[in-house]
Structure 1
Amino acid sequence: MPQVPANAFSAPVTLTGPHARLEPLSHSHLDGLIEAVQDGGLHDLWYTSVPHPDRMAEEIDRRLRLRDAGEWNPFTSFDAQGRVAGMTSYLHIDAQHARVEIGATWTRASCHRSALNTQCKLLLLQHAFDTLGCIAVELRTHRLNQQSRRAIERLGAQLDGILRAHQRLPDGSLRDTCVYSITASEWPTVRNHLQWQLDKPRNSA
C-alpha cells in the first residue's frame, strides 16, 4: 500500500455506521459532552482519566492542540439517535511507521454494553488499517480496569505486555498500563469478528 501523507493521520474525518457516528471534536459539542459525562458520574472513577464537567472546555482545547501538533486525532461519538455519547481519539500518532493508538475514550454510562463501543472501534480500526495503511493499532488501559480490559479483549486485540508503574494518576497512585494491539495481518479476522458481533441478534455488542 502506498505511504499515506503524515497529515492524513490527524486530518478531521467523520466516520459513520449504523450504531454510531464519530465526528471531529468541536467546541460546538461542549454542552452535549458535559451532559454525557454526568451520565453515571464517569469523572468520579479513580482509575480513569475522564474530564470533569467543569473542565470539559479545557479538555477540548487540549485535544485540539494535540491535533494541531499532529499527535492526536480527536472525535466526539454520537449514538444511533444522534445524542452525544462521549469522546475517543487516535493518539501517539506515528505516521512514519504507520502506527496509532486508540484511546482517551469514555462513553456515557447509559451506552455501556450497547453496540456503540463495538461500532466505534470498528470504524476507527477500519479507517486506520484500510485508509491510513497502519501496520498496527494499540489500545491501552489500567491493569485494574477490568471492564475496559474485557472490552478490548472482545475486540480481538492481543495483550503485548504490562508497563508497570507507568504513569502517576491525579490521586497520586501509580498506574500499571496494559498494552494491547491488533496488527495488519490480524485485521481481516478482527473485522469479521466485530461485524459478526454487530450483526448477531442480541441486546449488546
Structure 2
Amino acid sequence: MAQTSPVDDHSSSMIEQPVGDIVSDCTSRARPDANPEHHRLQGRYCRLELLNSNTSSTTIKQLYDAFKPMEQTHFTYLAYGPFETVDQFVEFIRKKELPSSNTILYSIIVNDRAVGFLSYLRIKEHQATIEIGHVNFSQQLVHTRQGTEAIYLLLQHAFDTLGYRRVEWQCYSLNANSRKAALRLGFQYEGTWLKAWICKGRSRDNVWHSIVDDEWPLVKQEFERWLNEDNFDANGQQLTRLNAAQVNPRRNKLSA
C-alpha cells in the first residue's frame, strides 16, 4: 500500500508544487497467471479456472452452449460475438491468449459445469494496476451468489495475493446492467470517455470505475459478510443486500 515517507517528502514547500505521496513499494507485481498454483481460484460457491488453448473441449462447449439461448441480447454491448460456431469461440479464446491482448481469461465453474467467463486485462505490472472485464454471465449466473463470488475471487487475488494498488472496471456507457453491477460491487465511478471506441460500427462512450488498495479492506469485509451462508435462506435467496458501494471510504474524497 502506498505510504508517505517521513524523510523524502517532495510535497514540501521547498518546490512549492503539490505532488503525490511517495510509494514505498515500487516493485513490479506478478502477472495473475505467473504461478501455476493460481491457475485455479477456489471459492465457497464456485471456482475459477484459466480459460485458454489448454482448456478441455468439454468446458468450451459448455460455455458456448450456455450463451446460445441469450446470444442476441447478451453480446449487444461487447466488441465480439455472437459466435456462430464453437470454432469461432475457440478462435476468440486463442486471440485473447496472445501476449498482445494482455488478457487472462477464466471460466466460472459451478457444480462442475462451466456457466460463464471473465478476465483480467489491461495488466500493468509496473504500475500495479489491473482491470476486471469480459464479464460474461450466462442465465445460470445472473443474480446469484456464485456470480458475485466470481468477481470477489478476482478482487481478492489482485489485492491480497498479488498486491495490486488499483483494480478497474470499464463498460459501455449504455450498458446499464454493467454500470449498476460495478457500483453494487464497490467500484466507484470516475468518469466517462466520450467517443472512446468504434464498436461494431457504432460510437461507444466508455465509463470508468475503480477500487484502490486502501479502500479494499472495507469492501472485502462487506463482500465476506454478504457471501456468508447465514445471509441466504433455504432457497438460496439473499436475506440482505450487498452494500459494497456504501462502505467504500472514497465518498467525498475526489474533487474536480
Q: Structure 1 length normalisation: TM-score? A: 0.88
Moved over 3 A (4+): 1-10, 42-45
Identical-residue share of aligned pairs (%): 29
Shift in Å, 1:88: 0.9
Q: Residue 22 of structure 1 aligns to which amino acid in structure 2?
A: L
Residue 165 (str. 1) matches residue 188 (str. 2): no
Amino acid at match of 2:216: W
Quote the Cα distance in structure 2 between the aligned partners of 1:59 and 1:45.
14
Q: Using CA pairs under 8 Å that are at least 6 residues apart, name the structure with larger relative contact order, 1 or 2.
A: 1
Matched AA of 2:65: E
Instruction: Report the AA paired with residue 90 of structure 2.
Output: A
Of the structure 1 ranges 10-19 and 154-163, higher mean CA displacement relative to structure 2 is found in 10-19
Aligned position for 1:145: 175
Distance, in Å, in 2 between the alignment partners of 1:3 and 1:75 is 28
Cα distance in 2 for partners of 1:49, 1:159 equals: 22
The corresponding residue for 1:192 is 221
Distance 1:3 1:10 in 2: 20
Q: Distance in 2 between matches of 1:42 and 1:134?
A: 36
Residue pairs, 1:1-205, within 5 angstroms: 7-11=30-34, 13-26=39-52, 27-28=55-56, 29-41=59-71, 45-53=75-83, 54=85, 55-66=88-99, 71-79=102-110, 81-170=111-200, 172-199=201-228, 200-201=231-232, 203=237
RMSD over aligned Cα, in angstroms? 2.1
Contact 2:27 2:126 in 1 (8 A): no
Question: Aligned equivalents of 2:50 and 2:96: distance in 1?
Answer: 11
Secondary structure of 2:98 counterpart: helix
Cα displacement (A) at 1:50: 5.0
How many residues align? The count is: 201
**Which has a greater percent of helix?**
1
Please say which structure displays the higher CA radius of gyration: 2
For residues 31 and 4 of structure 1, the distance between their equivalents in structure 2, rounded to whole angstroms, comes to 40
CA distance in 1, matches of 2:144, 2:79: 22
Provide Cα deviations, 1:64-94, integer angstroms capped at 9, x if missing partner: 113xx58222211112x12111211110000
The answer as to whether partners of 1:51 and 1:59 remain within 8 angstroms in 2 is no
Checking the alignment, whether the CA contact within 8 Å between 1:75 and 1:87 is kept in structure 2 is: yes
In 2, the alpha carbon distance for the partners of 1:123 and 1:52 equals: 27
Any idea what SS the aligned residue of 1:123 has?
Answer: helix
**More moved, 90-99 vs 11-20:** 11-20
Structure 2 segments unaligned to the other structure (5+ residues): 2-24, 243-256
Distance apart, 1:197 and its partner CA: 2.1
Contact 1:50 1:106 in 2 (8 A): no
Deviates more, 1:94-103 or 1:194-203: 194-203
Q: Deviations over 1:138-197 (max 9, x none)?
A: 011111111111111001110010111111111x11111110000000000111111122
Q: Which has the higher strand share?
A: 1
Give ranges in structure 1 of 5+ residues lacking alignment.
none
